[in-house]
Amino acid sequence: MEYIVIVIGAVLVNNIVLAQFLGLCPLFGVSSKISTAAGMGGAVLFVMTVASIVTYLLSTFLLEPLNIMYLQTITYILVISSLVQMVEIILKKVSPPLYQALGIFLPLMTTNCAILGVAILVFQQDFTLLQGVIFAISHSIGFTLAIILLAGIREHMDLLDIPKGMKGNPIIMVTAGLLALAFMGFAGIV
Amino acid sequence: MSDVIIYSVVSLSLIGVLAALILFIIAQKFKVIEDPRIDLVEQALPGANCGGCSMPGCRAFAEELVKADDISHLNCPVASNENMAEIAKILGKEIAEKEPLVAVVKCNGSPEHRPKTNHYDGASECRIASALYTGDTGCPYGCLGLGECERACNFDAIHIDKETGLPVVIDDKCTACNACVIACPRNIIELRKKNKKDRKIFVSCINEEKGGVARKNCKVACIGCGRCVKVCPFEAITLENNLAYIDPFKCRLCRKCAPECPTNAILEINFPPRKEKKEAAETPAGEK
Amino acid sequence: MVLTLFVVTLVASTSLALVYEVTKEPIRLAALERKNNAIMQVVPEFNNMPNEEEYTVEVNGDELVFYPARMDGELVGVAIETFTRRGYSGTIELMVGLLPDGTIHGIEVLRHSETPGLGDKIETDKSDFYKQFVGRNPGDFTMKVRQDNGEIDGITASTITARAYCEAVQLAYDVFIEKGDIK
Amino acid sequence: MLKTFPKGGIHPAEHKITAGKPTETLPVPKTAVIPLSQHLGAPSTPVVKKGDMVKAGQLIAKSSAFVSANIHSSVSGKVTKIDNVIDTSGYRQPAVIIEVEGDEWDEKIDPGKTLKKEITISGEEIRKRTEEAGIVGLGGATFPSHIKLSVPKGKKAEVLIINGAECEPYLTADHRLMLEKGDELMVGITLLMKALGVEKAMIGIENNKPDAVDHLTSLAVNYKGISVHALKVMYPQGAEKQLIKSLINREVPSGALPIEVGTVVHNVGTAVAVYEAVQKNKPLFERVVTVSGKSLKNPGNFLVRIGTPVSELIEAAGGMPEDTGKIINGGPMMGKALNTTEAPVAKGTSGILVFPASDSKREEVQKCIRCAKCVSICPMGLEPYLLNAASEREMWEIVETDRVLDCMECGSCSYICPSRLPLLDYIRLGKSTVSKIIRSRKQ
Amino acid sequence: MSKLITVSPSPHMYGGDNVKKLMYGVVLALLPAFLVSVYFFGIGALIVTAVSVVSCVGFEYLIQKHLMKTTPTITDGSAAVTGLLLAFNLPTNLPVWIILIGALVAIGVGKMSFGGLGNNPFNPALVGRIFLLISFPVQMTSFPKPIVSRTQYTDAVTGATPLEIIKEGISEGIPLSELMGQIPGYFDLFIGRMHGSMGEIGALALIIGGIYLLARKIITWHIPVSILSTIIVFTGILWAANPEANADPMFHILSGGIMLGAIYMATDYATSPMTPKGMWIYGIGIGVITVTIRVWGAYPEGVAFSILIMNAFVPIINKYIKPKRFGEEVKNG
Amino acid sequence: MNQAKNFTKGFVRENPVFILMLGLCPALGTTTSAFNGFGMGMATLFVVLMSNIVVSIFKDFIPNKVRIPSYIVIIASFVTITDLVMEAFMGGLHAELGLFIPLIVVNCFVLGRAEAFASKNTLFSSTIDGIGMGLAFTMALTMLGATRELLGANALFGVELIEGDGMLVFVLAPGAFIALGYLIALMNKLKKD
Ligand SMILES: Cc1cc2nc3c(=O)[nH]c(=O)nc-3n(C[C@H](O)[C@H](O)[C@H](O)COP(=O)(O)O)c2cc1C
Ligand SMILES: Cc1cc2nc3c(=O)[nH]c(=O)nc-3n(C[C@H](O)[C@H](O)[C@H](O)COP(=O)(O)O)c2cc1C
Ligand SMILES: Cc1cc2nc3c(=O)[nH]c(=O)nc-3n(C[C@H](O)[C@H](O)[C@H](O)COP(=O)(O)O)c2cc1C
Ligand SMILES: Cc1cc2nc3c(=O)[nH]c(=O)nc-3n(C[C@H](O)[C@H](O)[C@H](O)CO)c2cc1C
Ligand code: SF4
Ligand code: SF4
Ligand code: SF4
Ligand code: SF4
Ligand code: FES
């Protein structure tokens, strides 16, 4: 039950991009096609989960005992950036098509607030490791859901004539806003 | 107090070094060899991602450039000759000097010259109209005026003139990207050598019908009489299928042919006015 | 290469540690001051140091913190750090000031994450909601929102928050009456 | 419940004004213009030259490729020239122009009207006669019929389907033919069955022609294996794949031919033409054409020589009305608008419709409101709105993967669209571009 | 030839329906429900409808004329439908200035920003309504009492909708049997004698309009039927599991905006799927989300939200759910 | 390099938020009011400026391969410093901005400046760039905050302008996106003119 609450809360109610404003750069950057959006979602899922585990362990067994929690930001970002680079190198070798699709956006994961934000939140919320992992996975699913929905609407908009002034970023922003508006309906479910 | 400093320094450095080490190992294990020149070439390209080179974007073009042995046929319409020379230098390959070209429209059949014979009421696309029938005038070769070329141009260089219903090229904006040439279902547009001061002489007609038929449908059609061929001192004009064609590379802009044409099908543009014959100097539509 | 990175982290961590050392005390003080301010807001004038006399009372596994305020050694009121988890968006923490007889003297919101514009009307500077409590003794009236047949006018469209607020104040009062005998 | 196909279809106003008008024979024209490209496939090669004298029924152009057909003179007279003229396709194409003198028929032809029922020749010979007589599908596609009569190796024809649906509004040529030449049709069908080696033939007729259904049903008892089926009035009931689905509940796969599901479809006119070619030795040089339109004085069905200018047909129907806005060769759903009335009647000309100006202009186009009506009526299960939008924006991958090539150009989508979008215009553009892309990919 | 003949590609015949006729068909279908509202809410219903329709049409005109610089197409009736449906979604005592904001958001943000008719991914009227609901929760959730406040506009006597009563009561732990006494009977719900938004009351009138829409082939049955059946099944399961804590299916479909939503708003062309199969997925999604919000969420009513949420899925549904192609699966026999 | 241009480029033409769409999370997450937006902008300004300075000084000593990690460490240090200092001396604002202060470290805009500008330019240019871009970012956030506060609470910098509640949506997530959408449209128009 407690896990269901975490999952629904993270995916629908407090959706990381639509309600918490994290990870917006990739949300807007990589949502022009459903396929790439899904790829990005997968990448976030992987990096977010692993990053949360590593940072959780790091905090519990190193930073907290030594009473140097103030180093949280800097250590987390170090961990995340090396992790991202690792994924990039591996992906390039293992799946060139995916690497092509996500191309320049993999490095952007280092600068994706969602990853660092969730890592910090996991620790702030006094979760157990398992809860933390579920929290991270749910949030990345929430991210994927939002980015795929947005990508779907954007692909659809490719076949329409958006007015000149709104073309491009403005209309995508407004679309995201309306998406967030719709998602407010989930308020209070958990 | 100093404890904190020591702990901080030690743990942070430890994390840093550890991360670097793991990365290093992984990088070795999963090495992918990619030609570094691709990046260099991509940087040298204009980055407009316009697709004028018929590749999906500049990076793909860069990859193609690196891959190809002979790059003279690969051509970026936006890049200047210097750009291409730079790329050639990066790659150590030969590159052909690009002759500056410009698009010209080879139809001059405005409604006054070429009366309408029916009213077209389909979707407003030249390709659709041309797939349907010969067109809304008697001429089965001429411009349909529905602006396919205008929509194809990424550089805002070709527009349909409201009065004549014919496209007009703005020479300065045209990058000779070939997009309009491909778009036109009637093959009316040709890329021709760009002469000094944008001067041009060309036969503004592609009608291959017999003279009488062509003339009946359009007053400024080339009727294939061959008089221009005879006067050209440089053998630049050929006659085939009732149609004269001026080779832009042989033509030396002597202007002897234009006044010869009985239907004014030969256009001369951006020349100083002629003194003797007034009639031919009257610049017909097609000029900007 | 590794060396550079090593040097960078070295320098960074050293300078961070230094800044940390410098700001450690001000951060502690700032937090303390916020608490003191809240205490000052909710109890009558005092001249002791309530936060040095603080003690905690355990209720159902959670803790309420009591800060007795004294004027010249005599108890003039108690500030109680209380909370509820039933806010619209999680925990609401309040500082409730009670006079020795249990009458409410003042309430301050310490922390909450209610919706701006809706639930955040419980903040003292955002609406007069809290005034309904001041000067009344929870023993004498039903400290519940109207919807629950109480005497408190809720906050429109934020019944949940208002209800939770009452609950937290009630908790402070109950613990004060039952176990809060001031030493 | 009448048989029909399961998905899509529309029911446009029928306007079968000429259904009750018996076929009249139109006089031979003064000049016949016989196009060399009246069929699907390669144009024929002329075998006459300027100055030659010809008789009606004489071969004037030979099939030039596997998919091509012979062309015979429809009149007697002198070949004056072979020139490019605008024909019913809207293009300038080569045609043989004949100055008419008298009306002399080739002597091999039996001009008599008596029914010749007994079949004396083999299936293979039937096929050969069909080929010699230059018979092409008269249902609209003008595909050379003899090719359809040779079943490819490995395939087996089980049933012959005869298309008497005539689902296009206005047109009544097939209707009249079924009423007036029922016996010839039955013999023609029997000939086709023999050529194909099948035991069974089914005639499908839309139920708005009950007299034809009754008439043919009563005749069919005398012929073995032929059955008549009334079909729900639903455009495009007569489209080959839909008709097959309606009658034998089989779906011809995308890109495949009817023979894939063991059947061959021929139009009733084609069957009658086969009868005349085989039993009477008469090549295809005349056909029934419906000339109709709301403001025509005397609309009717006319037996016309191929090569007669359209203007003469309109004259026969009472002359060109004042308010004429559009002239259509074929039905209103699939027919082609003509840009000149001088275009000659060709083998595929089933009707000439004269529309008043008020019915000729398209209404103002709005944006697609995504009402899904086009999706729900497309008999092929396509998404016209999407193909339209993608073609307009040159997103050819979408156009291709969403199966633009399955579109049979029935026009139902354009018909139904409340926004009056020229859906089919763009879908055609998509079809031709995608075919080009596929062809260039194959190379 | 003086007049040139016209040449165009086939077909040369067109069906009778056009956008205008379809839109005014919807207006006509909404008429019975409108009359019911006027009967129960009186002047308020008239004012809210008039303001909403006029301002929606007006904003569309202004935006097209002055911002987009195109010829206004307000006569096609789609803005009027949006205005009407927005009004149907508002309480009948809503201040005029709030209605104006709602109309501006519906038309400006929800529709014209995307290019107007047919382009909008979200239902404009619902965008307007939800925007208002979140912006002005107080005003948007006080509903006038039917009949008694027919002559008052702004200071009508207000009360809670049946759904609010049930939701509030259940969260207090009051058994349902007791709560049912506080709400109008099912017959009243059916004819519309209850608190609620202007047009969501009166299931009967809405159904009559719906039958008209079906008969005119303006909508197909798939969306309404899939939504209603999902809601009946889902709430039926909950009800069967615990009849004291969950209202019965009948109550659910008669209260709140389910009828209005299922028949008129989920069926909005631009924002619903193109294929029957897609419509089923969409309808089931709306049903499930509606019940989820009603039973577990913060809001007593969830139809509007669930339609908007499923609107967001429509492009993906359209991309992956294709109509059955002719000749696709060859089951010949 | 023309320093005036260098300074002003970020305000409209290369505005990090409106044009380049970078650093969107703080831009939307912290701009519930003009003051919060301003505060976040200033915090970011400090980090951008300091990291630009440090990077441009040490750019020649940092080998290319470890460039990014080093920059990140440098930025993270300044972020932590900002965090600590704000917690010590600006408790209220610190509490309001919450998670978004540590998140400055991942703001692509900050790293972008270090990467794309400071690592290639002189100390002076980088300083100007840092101040200019930082101010532009602050301006964008303040504008967005002001818009949202105005519409959402009828107030500006905490001063109530009209009696009564505003449109709550603008304080919440959907309003943030929508407001930014229209601001970007406006900016695009300005850029063109
Ligand atoms: C975005 C959003 C924020 C909300 N914030 C609060 C809140 O802060 N406090 C609260 O009690 N209810 C909040 N609600 C819940 C609703 O306003 C709910 O209808 C209300 O609590 C119960 O209605 P009532 O107070 O009018 O009886 C929120 C709802 C939404 C959708
Ligand atoms: C390229 C091509 C080849 C064909 N080959 C055959 C064939 O071998 N056998 C056959 O029975 N029909 C063949 N057909 C004819 C079709 O089955 C069909 O009758 C014709 O295309 C007209 O149908 P429609 O009017 O429904 O389009 C062929 C058609 C085309 C276009
Ligand atoms: C939309 C559509 C409608 C058609 N309607 C008819 C029709 O009503 N009658 C008919 O004989 N053929 C009709 N056809 C042509 C048939 O598909 C098919 O080509 C023809 O029946 C084959 O016979 P044929 O080769 O003898 O012409 C139609 C084709 C299409 C694509
Ligand atoms: C059946 C039908 C239902 C409609 N429902 C709505 C609706 O719920 N909301 C709305 O704003 N417009 C509605 N409209 C009007 C119109 O389609 C709407 O403005 C478009 O969404 C604008 O693109 C409807 C129209 C029709 C034909
Ligand atoms: S499309 Fe290309 S070639 Fe044609 S006018 Fe434009 S720039 Fe010139
Ligand atoms: S030149 Fe060609 S493409 Fe351009 S308008 Fe004429 S026909 Fe169309
Ligand atoms: S024309 Fe093509 S797409 Fe349109 S309904 Fe007919 S088959 Fe379908
Ligand atoms: S019928 Fe027309 S308006 Fe309706 S979906 Fe199809 S194309 Fe769009
Ligand atoms: S600022 Fe959050 S992802 Fe870029």
Asked if pLDDT for residue A93 goes beyond 90, the answer is no
Q: Considering the entire predicted model, what is its pTM? A: 0.90
Are C118 and E137 within 8 A, CB to CB? yes
> How many domains is chain D built from?
2
Rounded to whole angstroms, how far apart are CA atoms E93 and E96? Answer: 9
Q: Is A184 in the pocket of ligand 1 (CB under 6 A)?
A: yes
Are E172 and C148 within 8 A, CB to CB? yes
- Work out the minimum CA distance from E20 to partner chain B, whole angstroms: 22
Are F168 and E109 within 8 A, CB to CB? no
Q: What is the mean predicted confidence (pLDDT) over D117-137?
A: 94
CA quadruple B126, B129, B133, B139: dihedral sign: negative
The lowest-confidence range among A95-99, C11-15, D59-63, D277-281 is A95-99
Atom number of ligand 3 nearest to Cα D168: 8
Rounded to whole angstroms, how far apart are CA atoms A186 and B6? Answer: 48
CA quadruple D212, D215, D218, D221: dihedral sign: negative
Contacts of E289 in chain A (CB under 8 A): 185
Are D426 and B131 within 8 A, CB to CB? no
The lowest-confidence range among B30-39, C149-158, D16-25 is B30-39
Give every CB contact of residue A97 below 8 A, 6+ residues apart in sequence: none
Q: Where are the beta strands (DSSP E) in C17-115?
A: 55-59, 62-71, 74-87, 90-98, 104-111
For ligand 8, atom 3, name the residue with the nearest CA. D368
Rounded to whole angstroms, how far apart are CA atoms B133 and D86? Answer: 9
- Structural tokens at position A176: 């995201």
Ligand 3: list residues with CB < 6 Å: D 137-141, 143, 145, 163, 165-168, 236, 238-240, 265-267, 270, 334, 408, 410
D400 and D264 together in one domain: no
pLDDT recorded at residue B52 = 54
Going by C-alpha positions, the residue among D10, F70, F152, C84 that lies closest to residue E134 is F152
Contacts of D86 in chain B (CB under 8 A): 134
Its domain, for residue A89, covers: 2-186
Contacts of B127 in chain E (CB under 8 A): none
> Are D402 and D388 contacting, i.e. CB atoms less than 8 angstroms apart?
no
pLDDT recorded at residue F185 = 93
Domain residue spans in chain C? Answer: 42-179
pLDDT recorded at residue E164 = 86
- Work out the minimum CA distance from C118 to partner chain F, whole angstroms: 8
Rounded to whole angstroms, how far apart are CA atoms E122 and E304? Answer: 11
Sort C174 into a burial class: Cβ within 10 Å, 0-12 / 13-18 / 19+. middle
* Shortest-distance ligand to the CA of residue F26: 9
Rounded to whole angstroms, how far apart are CA atoms E279 and E262? Answer: 12
A/B interface, count of CB pairs below 8 Å: 46
Measure Cα distances from C129 to A151, B282, F151 in Å: 45, 87, 24
Give every CB contact of residue D96 below 8 A, 6+ residues apart in sequence: D33, D34, D36, D46, D48, D60, D61, D71, D73, D79, D82
Its domain, for residue D428, covers: 373-442
Nearest CA in chain C to E171: C160
Ligand 5 mutation target, pool B104, B166, B175, most atoms within 8 A of CB: B175
CATH hierarchy code of domain B101-269: 3.30.70.20
Are E274 and D383 within 8 A, CB to CB? yes
Which of C88-102, E256-270, F144-158 holds the top average pLDDT?
A: E256-270
- F66–chain B Cβ distance below 8 A for any pair: yes
CA quadruple F124, F125, F128, F131: dihedral sign: negative
D249 and D133 together in one domain: yes
What distance in angstroms lies between residue A111's CA and the mean position of ligand 9's atoms? 6
pLDDT recorded at residue B76 = 67
Q: Which of C6, C18, C20 sits opposite B13 (nearest CB)?
A: C6
- Structural tokens at position B130: 């041309």
Rounded to whole angstroms, how far apart are CA atoms D195 and D122? Answer: 7
Q: Which of B1, B4, B13 sits opposite C10 (nearest CB)?
A: B13
Tally DSSP H helices, then E strands, for chain B. 11, 9
| Alpha helices per DSSP H over chain A | 2-8, 24-29, 34-58, 72-94, 96-102, 105-108, 113-124, 129-157, 169-183
**Comparing D207 with B52, which gets the higher pLDDT?**
D207
Contacts of B127 in chain D (CB under 8 A): 429, 433
* Shortest-distance ligand to the CA of residue C123: 1
- A2–chain C Cβ distance below 8 A for any pair: no
Please state the φ and ψ torsions of residue D344, each to the nearest 5 degrees: -85, 150
Sort B274 into a burial class: Cβ within 10 Å, 0-12 / 13-18 / 19+. middle
Are C23 and F77 within 8 A, CB to CB? no
Mutate to test the interface with F, among C10, C19, C126 (most CBs of F within 10 A): C19
Contacts of C13 in chain A (CB under 8 A): 71, 74
Q: Which of B123, B127, B134 sits opposite D90 (nearest CB)?
A: B134
Are B120 and E9 within 8 A, CB to CB? no
Ligand 8: list residues with CB < 6 Å: D 368-374, 384-385, 416-419, 421, 423
- Work out the minimum CA distance from A175 to partner chain C, whole angstroms: 23
CATH hierarchy code of domain B37-91: 1.10.15
Are F167 and E137 within 8 A, CB to CB? no
Q: Is E298 in the pocket of ligand 1 (CB under 6 A)?
A: yes
Going by C-alpha positions, the residue among C92, C94, C95, C96 that lies closest to residue C115 is C92
Mean pLDDT (chain D) is 94
Ligand 3 mutation target, pool D240, D243, D382, most atoms within 8 A of CB: D240
Chains in contact with F, where contact requires at least 3 CB pairs less than 8 Å apart = A, B, C, E
Domain residue spans in chain E? Answer: 19-139, 151-320
> Are A90 and F79 contacting, i.e. CB atoms less than 8 angstroms apart?
no
Number of C-beta neighbours around residue F157 at 10 A: 12
Nearest CA in chain E to B122: E8
For tokens 């008669």, what's the residue?
A: E254
Q: What is the mean predicted confidence (pLDDT) over D326-353?
A: 94
Q: Encode burial over B159-196: b for 16+ CB neighbours within 10 A, e otherwise.
A: bbeeebbbbbbebeebbbbbbbbebbbbebbbbbebbe
Number of C-beta neighbours around residue B89 at 10 A: 11
Chains in contact with B, where contact requires at least 3 CB pairs less than 8 Å apart = A, C, D, E, F
**How many residues does this entry show for chain D?**
443
Provide the greatest CA pair distance for chain A.
59
DSSP element (H, E) containing B269: strand B266-269
What distance in angstroms lies between residue D265's CA and the mean position of ligand 3's atoms? 8
* Shortest-distance ligand to the CA of residue A19: 1
Are C23 and F172 within 8 A, CB to CB? no
> How many domains is chain A built from?
1
Q: Encode burial over D409-421: b for 16+ CB neighbours within 10 A, e otherwise.
A: bbbbbbbbbbbbb
> Are D296 and D146 contacting, i.e. CB atoms less than 8 angstroms apart?
no
Helix axes E96-104, E78-88, angle to 10 degrees: 130
What distance in angstroms lies between residue B170's CA and the mean position of ligand 5's atoms? 9
Measure Cα distances from B181 to B204, D94, D391, D434 in Å: 15, 28, 19, 19
Task: Out of D250, D280, D310, pick the residue that ends a domain.
Answer: D280
Q: Is B95 in the pocket of ligand 5 (CB under 6 A)?
A: no
> Are D55 and D105 contacting, i.e. CB atoms less than 8 angstroms apart?
yes
Rounded to whole angstroms, how far apart are CA atoms E283 and E290? Answer: 10
The stretches in chain B having pLDDT less than 50 are: 1, 48, 278-288
pLDDT band at A107 (very low <50, low <70, confident <90, very high): low
User: Among residues of chain D, what percentage have pLDDT more than 90?
Assistant: 92
Beta bridge partners of C97: C79, C106
Are B8 and C5 within 8 A, CB to CB? no
Q: What is the mean predicted confidence (pLDDT) over D111-120?
A: 90
Atom number of ligand 7 nearest to Cα D8: 5
What distance in angstroms lies between residue B269's CA and the mean position of ligand 5's atoms? 18
For tokens 């008719």, what's the residue?
A: E117
The lowest-confidence range among B193-202, D344-353, E275-284 is B193-202
Q: What is the mean predicted confidence (pLDDT) over F105-131?
A: 83
F and B adjacent (3 or more CB pairs under 8 angstroms): yes
Going by C-alpha positions, the residue among A52, D29, E80, A78 that lies closest to residue B16 is A78
Nearest CA in chain F to A19: F173
pLDDT band at A108 (very low <50, low <70, confident <90, very high): low
pLDDT recorded at residue E310 = 97
Asked if pLDDT for residue E83 goes beyond 90, the answer is yes
Asked if pLDDT for residue E333 goes beyond 50, the answer is no
Q: From edge to edge, which strands make up the β-sheet containing C104-111?
A: C55-59, C62-71, C74-87, C90-98, C104-111
D271 and D385 together in one domain: no
> Are E214 and E221 contacting, i.e. CB atoms less than 8 angstroms apart?
yes
Contacts of B144 in chain E (CB under 8 A): none
Domain-located, residue D307: no
What distance in angstroms lies between residue A20's CA and the mean position of ligand 9's atoms? 12
**How many residues does this entry show for chain E?**
333
List, for residues F68-116, the tens digit of each pLDDT value. 778 888 889 999 999 999 988 887 888 888 788 888 888 878 877 887 7
Rounded to whole angstroms, how far apart are CA atoms B22 and A89? Answer: 12
Rounded to whole angstroms, how far apart are CA atoms C101 and C78? Answer: 10
Measure Cα distances from F35 to B57, C127, D126, F40, F42 in Å: 43, 20, 93, 9, 10
- F103–chain A Cβ distance below 8 A for any pair: yes
Give the torsion through C-alpha atoms of E209, E210, E216, E218, to 10 deg.
120
Domain residue spans in chain B? Answer: 37-91, 101-269
Q: What is the mean predicted confidence (pLDDT) over E134-154?
A: 84
- Return the CA Rg of chain F: 17
Are D393 and A158 within 8 A, CB to CB? yes
Measure Cα distances from A116 to A72, A112, C177, D367, F113 in Å: 10, 7, 46, 45, 20
Asked if pLDDT for residue E193 goes beyond 90, the answer is no
Q: What is the mean predicted confidence (pLDDT) over D369-395?
A: 95
Rounded to whole angstroms, how far apart are CA atoms D31 and D46? Answer: 18
pLDDT recorded at residue E188 = 87
pLDDT recorded at residue D391 = 95
Atom number of ligand 9 nearest to Cα A26: 3
| Alpha helices per DSSP H over F90-122 | 91-97, 108-113
